[in-house]
Structure 1
């Protein structure tokens, strides 16, 4: 088939614009493998999404991320239905639309990022580690006390990183359930179990307004009485001597509270499932705890919680000899880049000792994930606490993946286990 622009549309690429495909690993990766081998730069036209170029090779993803002047985040940083694209743009123009680090380009992106950067540097991570280790022990103890079965996602993987990130922000534990619900609704707009209402642009706007109401009050409180936490740093952050706008402030909270929690949840739960599905690797890791750092990287590669980001060309260019016109968008398929046969030896093998492991799960370049070190620390603490105490583990039902086109992973992981 052809599109109005004359590009040949890829049938295999249509899975990328189909939320249900991300809930079916076999279907998703079969199509991605075909694209890498046959059409690594593929034109995709699958309404209600606007057309885009699917970039499925690791090298091309890295090159586009590196060239953040030629390929920019605005005005289309994420894959959303056309109606949602239009609604977000209208909201931003009206000063009420979410505008996180994900949506920004330099120099504003660089200036905004600096405000929170110190809270994710090594010294801050060392200071936070006591709290992270304490929470890891709390949740493994709960597994022991509530066993021998649980839904690992809803009882452990969701709550543990949420408590970490909201502790970093300095929010009271009484507010954590509210933040969890809002986070699930924000990222669950394509999933029937988690979305608010019908999951349309009006429902997403309602979720964002709930976030805005909560964090506007937090900003006012932290400006009046700073408390030495990340929320205070954001509330009192300035650019060129001027305080952040209300929307930039709220957007900063939202990206930290939601993305910083949900992605780690997906890596933790998907990592445990990978160990269950590969018992020889689980035994290998239990026998040699020194492999934990490489095991964590492999879990992050294997799960790829952030499925994509979009970039828009600012000038006519080409990728692998394929012309891309100014104004056209490219879809960076991280899930594909992390299984690229030219970069990873036997990429469909889960290998806890894999080195090197040049995965793109945290992005690359100026948009490299601000919380990457925190995510690694959280995973290291939890698995470092769980694995030495784990005597047996198996599935107690069928795992379920969420439908998404952006951030996602397991929404249910029923397990049966024995812990000491």
Structure 2
């Protein structure tokens, strides 16, 4: 049996603000079983960084896991050669060179059109009206599902990540997830005979990957590739508007948009955790971990570990964010990281602040979630 100490949490409070509970765990029980989640949580950065790479003990292969059951077994739920093979197949669609040469011009054109539409309005919700369509239009191109609307892409992504975090077993959340995956399958069927060049769908079809694997990987790209950039764009903009002294550093050339993005995802990792299955019985820091038990690698907690970050709850563009691991640190490091960084730091943020003079917050802008975290809304105004 698992011998890690037990920590009780209030799920609603944890979703609203997980950081006080995570800080307490880091201090007194960095390896702890949380009954409300049915999992052992690793909350210190060094433990997360080390154990993410130990796939013989903590496996990504989770036949009964929510992602596998709801979305199919994608490359993030494979280890070893199987994982590397599918990652290699996807690489031509997501490599830094492909992003710079093929996707970036498309990202820029879509973002410019969105901002041209927004400028005369004088106000909007940055989540709904800017970050969501910027991310969704980029994802339509990358996946090859150009028949999907931006709203369909966003809704499908949200339904899937809600399903993957549905550890309380809410049947309504599960039903929405199934509807989303069925919608994606229908769009794949429309595009599969002639998928757009360089797309995730195209490279998998060209490599002869089985359709079950291809479908699961497209769903993976949508689930992480929509919500994470959406939440990071809106969240980083919110943090900069909330901290004008930090925004001034960028305008003075003392920091850049990549610094802002790196500090935001350290502070509020959009993907807050990654689940693993204990492939065998073993020990973490002297505590027995039972075979087949569930272990959560808490990236959101790692980014605020006091052992690596001074004043970890403070938004500070001058700090070294190197020890943070918001994209993971092992063999499952986010395959779409180059696309996300390009979209956010080279296009969305600089174009947003350049296009909308006098941009300012205009109301309450709460964040929500623990497995996936981002702003619910970011109401803003500017000078039309």
The alignment covers a number of residue pairs equal to 379
Match of 2:261 in 1: 296
Q: How big is the shift at 1:73? A: 1.1
> Residue 211 of structure 1 is aligned with which of 179, 184, 188?
184
What pairs with 1:97-246 in structure 2 (closer than 5 Å)? 98-127=72-101, 128-147=103-122, 149-172=123-146, 175-189=149-163, 199-222=172-195, 227-237=197-207, 243-246=208-211
Match of 2:229 in 1: 264
Instruction: Note if contact 2:2-2:288 (Cα within 8 Å) is conserved in structure 1.
Output: no
Flag the 1:21–1:288 CA change in 2: closer, same or farther, 3 A: same
Q: How big is the shift at 1:338? A: 0.6
SS, match of residue 363 in structure 2: coil
Match of 1:94 in 2: none
Q: How big is the shift at 1:173? A: 6.1
Match of 1:21 in 2: 14
Unaligned runs of 5+ in 1: 92-96, 238-242
Match of 1:253 in 2: 218
CA distance in 2, matches of 1:191, 1:411: 17
Flag the 1:145–1:58 CA change in 2: closer, same or farther, 3 A: same
Which of 350-359 and 201-210 deviates more? 201-210
Flag the 1:277–1:55 CA change in 2: closer, same or farther, 3 A: same
Q: How big is the shift at 1:219? A: 2.0
Match of 2:310 in 1: 345
Q: Is 1:75 paired with 2:62?
A: yes
Q: How big is the shift at 1:53? A: 0.9
Deviation by residue 1:310-354 (Cα, 9 ceiling, x = unmatched): 112223322222222322221111111110010112211111122
> Residue 6 of structure 2 is aligned with which of 3, 6, 9?
9
Flag the 1:220–1:405 CA change in 2: closer, same or farther, 3 A: farther
Match of 1:240 in 2: none
CA distance in 2, matches of 1:201, 1:346: 39
Which of 60-69 and 378-387 deviates more? 378-387
Unaligned runs of 5+ in 2: none
Q: How big is the shift at 1:115? A: 0.9
Q: Please report the TM-score for the alignment, with normalisation by the length of structure 1.
A: 0.82
SS, match of residue 172 in structure 2: coil
Q: How big is the shift at 1:360? A: 1.1
Q: Please report the TM-score for the alignment, with normalisation by the length of structure 2.
A: 0.89
Deviation by residue 1:50-88 (Cα, 9 ceiling, x = unmatched): x2211000000000112122210122796x5xxxx8xx5
Flag the 1:142–1:286 CA change in 2: closer, same or farther, 3 A: farther
Flag the 1:140–1:357 CA change in 2: closer, same or farther, 3 A: farther
Deviation by residue 1:241-293 (Cα, 9 ceiling, x = unmatched): xx322211111111223311211101111111111221211122222275222
Q: Is 1:34 paired with 2:24?
A: yes
> Residue 282 of structure 1 is aligned with which of 229, 247, 251?
247
Instruction: Note if contact 2:126-2:377 (Cα within 8 Å) is conserved in structure 1.
Output: yes
